[in-house]
Amino acid sequence: MAAFSLAERLRVGETVFSAWTTLASPLVVEAMAREGFGAVNLDAQHGMWDVGTLIAGIGAVRAAGAAPLVRVPPEDFGLVSRALDLGAEAIIAPMINTAADARRFVAAAKYPPLGERSWGPVRAMMLQGQTTATDYLREANAGTLTMAMIETPAALRNAAEIAGTPGIDCLFVGPYDLATSLSEGKAQDITAAEVERAVDAICAAAAKAGKIPGIYCRDPARAVAMAKRGFRFIAVASDLNIFREGTAAILNALKN
């Protein structure tokens, strides 16, 4: 498996579908990767992942042949560099509302001259089979991806500036927070006209800057539709929703 497979696939124009996980189970993320997802995101913002489980989960994803990603909590730029050191190939950072936020994200995620990431990718190099520090250092800035979440009116207004920030690789739409904030907390309708216009505007801003458009989708139908609209990194469903919906389907069949 290539050291930085996700960046390579996206930069040659592939559309990559990623699993999304919250349950902090290395076995679950490994199973999802082995079923064929090219990437698996470990959500440390709203999910149960902590540093200990991230170590095991990232290793399990990579062992199964997929690219591990981590979503960090807002403003937790310390975890950005730590997750990359643990072997994450991409970081999804929430609430990147301004170019200044984007620059702070880049500072934590990229080595000089783009950023200020501190050296110490011991686990990442081990997982990738690299033994020479300069080999990892030479490839890391291009190979590890920064995905800036656009999920507020401020971020929407500043999407072009965020996308244009050197070192930002992807604009990633958080549709539910975007719908919540655009409606001033009155609704979470991701198909509302205002939200759909915003989604297309963010996709266009990323493409214009030569960056990767990304988005979260709750179900496969929405994911396929977003791919047709130009998104190339698409996270689909979540482990907990898959488990609950699968359980409900089994129980419904047993009752009927």
CB burial of residue 46 (10 Å; 0-12, 13-18, 19+): exposed
Which whole number is the average pLDDT over 139-164?
A: 98
Alpha helices (H) along the chain: 5-11, 26-34, 51-63, 77-85, 99-109, 122-128, 133-143, 153-157, 159-163, 175-182, 193-208, 220-228, 239-255
Question: How many domains, in total, are found in the chain?
Answer: 1
Q: What is the pLDDT of residues 149-160, one digit of tens each?
A: 999 999 999 999
d(CA 22, CA 112): 32
As a dihedral over the C-alpha atoms of residue 111, residue 112, residue 114, residue 115, rounded to 10 degrees, the angle is 60
Q: What is the pLDDT of residues 16-42, one digit of tens each?
A: 999 999 999 999 999 999 999 999 999
What is the CATH number for 241? 3.20.20.60
In the chain, the amino acid numbered 127 is L
Q: Band of the pLDDT at 1, cuts 50, 70, 90?
A: confident
Q: Is the pTM of this model over 0.95?
A: yes
- Expressed as residue numbers, the domain containing 104 is 5-255
Determine how β-strand 233-236 pairs with β-strand 212-217: parallel
The SS3 of residue 91 is: strand
Q: What is the pLDDT of residues 210-252, one digit of tens each?
A: 999 999 999 999 999 999 999 999 999 999 999 999 999 999 9
d(CA 105, CA 189): 29
Cα–Cα distances in angstroms (integers) from residue 241 to residues 1, 20, 29, 245, in the given order: 29, 10, 14, 6
Show which residues are catalytic: 46
CA angle in degrees (0–180, nearest 5) for 37-39-41? 115
